[in-house]
Amino acid sequence: MIAALAGGVGGARLCAGLAAVLAPHELTVAVNTGDDFEHLGLSISPDLDSVMYTLAGRHDTARGWGLAGESWRCMEALKALSGDDWFRLGDQDLATHLHRTQRLREGRRLSEVTRELCQALGVRHTVLPMTNGLLRTRILSDAGELAFQDYFVRHRCEPRFLGTRFEGEAHPTVELLAALGSPSTQAIVICPSNPFLSIHPLLALPGTRQALASRGAVAIAVSPVVGGAAVKGPLAKMMRELGLPVSPVEIARLYQGLIDGLVIDVADAAQAPAIEALGIAVSVQHTLMGDLPRQQALAEGALGFARGLRRRDQ
């Protein structure tokens, strides 16, 4: 069994690759819900949706989020009524939020609702929210403390990033702790998601960091930094604002103690010794995943790397 920890687009892409090479019972994806928020009375889980839509093959590859072939008639009408269109919701995507919101109001857990949605979308691998509770990522910035989506969407990540604060009392889902701790888990894969925004919230859940640090399984990460830039999103900007070099060495430092190995891109091969000096093994691969064959190739490469590390441990 493979346990993947994922956030948004990059995470979703690697998960699609993993799902292409693993049977449904062999893959559990635990997804960040620190970005979740209530908007227009709807319970929105952006990262869960990115992972679900991508695993279902229904995601929009050009836009990078939401459903393919989406339309925006409700949003246009809403803009005409209220001007409130800063967070764009497609007509088809709205159905996911309406259904999720209704089921949560009926008292269902987010993990149950996610299972239902996956079933309806034809996703057969296990997709889990990191928690059924509320843990909200707050952004500390030079514009003050901002709710995640205020920073990310409304302000387009423009304020200077100073750090995060995680608000709320939440516990990891039992399925997440089981996936991290189970003897049948062969490897834990931290996907190439933004460490600050997608992985740290997950690690902020009580017991998760400890479970990862004391794991029996090998753990690897795939670097979201390639050639001095982030593949997608504000990660490089955030690292610069924190005074950190934008390099996979810094990614390795962020995960030090939690991972045995790091997959880096061929563009960063020269960084391997500095990462290995941190006690983290390195695998150099083509990590850009524009299409499913490349997602699958990276998944195979990462799993092969993890298997090799496992053998080395024994």
Length of the chain measured in residues: 314
CA distance 239 to 247: 9
CB of 121 to a copy of itself, least distance (A): 8
Instruction: Return the structure tokens found at 127.
Output: 């997709």
Residue from 91, 145, 167, 241 in contact with a copy of itself (CB under 8 A): 91
CA distance 290 to 61: 8
Angle at 1 between CA 251 and CA 166, to 5 degrees: 45
Residues 15-54, mask of contacts with a copy of itself (x by CB under 8 A): -------------------------xxx------------
Q: Give the closest residue to 13 by CA, choosing from 228, 308, 222.
A: 222
15 and 6 Cβ atoms separated by less than 8 Å: yes
CB of 285 to a copy of itself, least distance (A): 36
Residue from 63, 76, 206, 277 in contact with a copy of itself (CB under 8 A): 76
Q: Does 68 help bind a copy of itself (rule: CB under 8 A)? A: no
Name the packing angle between helices 292-313 and 9-21 (round to 10°): 80
CB of 57 to a copy of itself, least distance (A): 14
246 and 194 Cβ atoms separated by less than 8 Å: no
Q: Does 241 help bind a copy of itself (rule: CB under 8 A)? A: no
Q: Does 92 help bind a copy of itself (rule: CB under 8 A)? A: yes
Residue from 78, 162, 177, 244 in contact with a copy of itself (CB under 8 A): 78
Of residues 110 through 139, those in contact with a copy of itself by CB under 8 A are 116-117, 120-121
225-226 and 229-230 beta bridge pairing: antiparallel
CA distance 11 to 189: 10
Q: Of the ranges 84-92, 204-212, 242-250, 254-262, which one interacts with a copy of itself (CB under 8 A)?
A: 84-92
**Residue carrying the six token digits 């993890």:** 306
Residue from 45, 96, 126, 173 in contact with a copy of itself (CB under 8 A): 96
Which CB, 119 or 184, lies closer to a copy of itself? 119
Instruction: Return the structure tokens found at 214.
Output: 């004391």
Residue from 94, 162, 284, 288 in contact with a copy of itself (CB under 8 A): 94
Within 10 A of 277 (CB to CB), how many other CB atoms are there? 10
CB of 75 to a copy of itself, least distance (A): 8
CA distance 12 to 222: 13
Residue from 20, 68, 74, 153 in contact with a copy of itself (CB under 8 A): 74
Interacting residue ranges for a copy of itself, rule: CB under 8 A: 40-42, 71, 73-78, 80-82, 84, 91-96, 98-99, 101-102, 105, 116-117, 120-121
